[in-house]
Amino acid sequence: MAAGPSTRPAGRPPKDVPQGDATRRRIREVATELFAEIGYHSTGTAEIGRRAGVRQGALYYHIGSKEELLYEVLKAHVEETLKGEQAIAALDLPAERKLERLITHQVTTIAHRRDEVAIYLRERQHLTGRRADDLQQLRDTVEQIWRSVIADGVASGSFRKVDHVEINGLLGMVNMVFYWYRPDGELAPEDIARRFVDLALRGVSTA
């Protein structure tokens, strides 16, 4: 996957620029909080720097631009999701069990990473050019894993033939959890996932 374009200055940073990955992580964590709390457009780089404890000039050395920072926040989130789903797809398990784990992984990720999910759903349209293309390619790879697991189930005879409308419906059902799940609600993420697993398997099973 090619990296998104960067406007970060070349060469060594000024002497007063905090060094290392720890600073970049702190900036990204602060940006994630602010983007989720007040939105991408309402977040100023000065506020990001203030909360992260980084001077304005040093901030631009580390992030290049606010759009690049949004890209890094979203890219890290989708890559983390993809890594978990690739690990599930690689397991030596029947398609039913893989689908069960994919649903559980997605529901629990949505429940526990609500800030990143909110930013993805609300702000990804602000990415342009290569950044937008790269993020979409990552997201397409995530969806392809789901499609391949279901295709394996169809090939083994465990699942009936499912078209793209039904697959998109399954993904939509799982992703909609973000809009109504509440941490203080009656159901834990694992309980929600079990119900979705039952619903999905009854919908695609040939039994």
State CA 154 to chain mean position distance: 27
Provide the domain count of the chain.
2
Q: Is 90 helix (H, G, I), strand (E, B) or coil?
A: coil
| Whole-number Å distance between alpha carbons of 34 and 25 | 14
Beta bridge partners of 205: 159
Return the CATH number at 35: 1.10.10.60
Does one domain contain both 171 and 147?
yes
20 band by pLDDT with thresholds 50, 70 and 90: low
pLDDT in tens, 94-142: 999 999 999 999 999 999 999 999 999 999 999 999 999 999 999 999 9
Does the pLDDT value for residue 14 go beyond 60? Answer: no
Beta bridge partners of 159: 205
Does one domain contain both 137 and 50?
no
Does one domain contain both 171 and 94?
yes
* Average pLDDT estimate for 168-185: 91
Choosing from 34, 64, 94, the residue where a domain stops is 64
| Boundaries of domain holding 188 | 68-204
Quote the pLDDT of residue 4: 45
| Whole-number Å distance between alpha carbons of 79 and 75 | 6
* Average pLDDT estimate for 172-198: 92
Does one domain contain both 158 and 179?
yes
Given phi > 0 = left and psi -120 to 50 = alpha, else beta, which region is 64? left
Q: What percent of the chain has pLDDT over 70?
A: 90
Residue type, 189: P
* Average pLDDT estimate for 162-177: 90
- Taking a C-beta distance cutoff of 8 angstroms, is the pair 177, 108 a contact? no
16 band by pLDDT with thresholds 50, 70 and 90: very low
Does one domain contain both 60 and 109?
no
Q: What is the dihedral angle through the alpha carbons of 80, 82, 85, 90, rounded to the nearest 10 degrees?
A: -110
**Would residue 5 count as lying in a domain?**
no
Choosing from 64, 89, 115, the residue where a domain stops is 64
pLDDT in tens, 24-47: 889 999 999 999 999 999 999 999
Please provide residue 177's backbone torsions phi and psi, each rounded to the nearest 5 degrees: -55, -35
For 20-24, which contacts have Cβ atoms below 8 Å and span 24 or more sequence positions?
A: 23/52, 23/54, 23/62, 24/62, 24/63
pTM of the model: 0.82
